[in-house]
């Protein structure tokens, strides 16, 4: 790397850009903290009053305020298997297997004819409910709401607050 000395214009530009970047990061962090705090206050107010949206009439104008939530479904696969049975469970749940210890897996397979119960510890399994297949089974009457009851929970988290200016 070549070091440039005695170039006041470059020195000034580099130091000014460095300061600008530092100021921006500081402002951005303060902005995010304040935004999260204010959005939390708005969401809490809407929750306490059972509002999906509400209006605010102020000197600055009339505003419609609507907290937008993320909805995430967390499945209890053990309960789902018990309630649906193995056959239906296999229809609506996709599984992906990954080998966690390939060397151990390979040496085991070489040493004998594989027993599935002994192979399982080498694998990690990722399960995911296939919404399309679940909806198909529900529309055919194969799966009922009662069967799904207590097999999942819905987690809500604040995504953002939408504020729209309205005409008075």
Q: Are residues 102 and 135 in the same domain?
A: yes
Q: Are residues 61 and 102 in the same domain?
A: no
Within a domain: 1:
no
**107 lies in which domain range?**
77-150
Q: Are residues 84 and 62 in the same domain?
A: no
Within a domain: 43:
yes
pLDDT of residue 82: 93
The total domain count for the chain is 2
Q: Are residues 36 and 91 in the same domain?
A: no
pTM: 0.56
Within a domain: 155:
no
Q: 158 with 43: CB under 8 angstroms?
A: yes
Q: Are residues 35 and 53 in the same domain?
A: yes
SS (H, E, C) 114-150: CCHHHHHHHEEEEEEECHHHHHHHHHCCCCCHHHHCC
pLDDT of residue 101: 80
pLDDT digits (tens, 9 = 90+) for 84-142: 999 999 999 999 988 878 778 778 887 888 776 777 777 788 899 999 999 999 999 99
């Amino acid at each position: 790397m070549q070091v440039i000395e005695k170039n006041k214009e470059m020195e000034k530009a580099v130091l000014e850009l460095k300061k600008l970047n530092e100021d921006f990061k500081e402002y951005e962090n303060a902005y995010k903290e304040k935004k999260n705090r204010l959005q939390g206050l708005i969401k809490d107010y809407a929750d306490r009053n059972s509002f999906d949206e509400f209006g605010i009439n102020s000197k600055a104008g009339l505003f419609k305020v609507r907290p937008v939530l993320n909805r995430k479904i967390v499945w209890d696969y053990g309960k789902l298997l018990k309630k649906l049975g193995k056959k239906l469970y296999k229809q609506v749940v996709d599984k992906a297997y990954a080998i966690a210890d390939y060397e151990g897996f390979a040496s085991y397979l070489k040493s004998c004819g594989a027993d599935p119960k002994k192979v399982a510890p080498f694998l990690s399994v990722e399960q995911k409910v296939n919404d399309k297949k679940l909806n198909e089974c529900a529309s055919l009457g194969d799966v009922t709401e009662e069967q799904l009851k207590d097999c999942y929970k819905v987690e809500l988290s604040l995504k953002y607050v939408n504020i729209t200016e309205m005409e008075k």
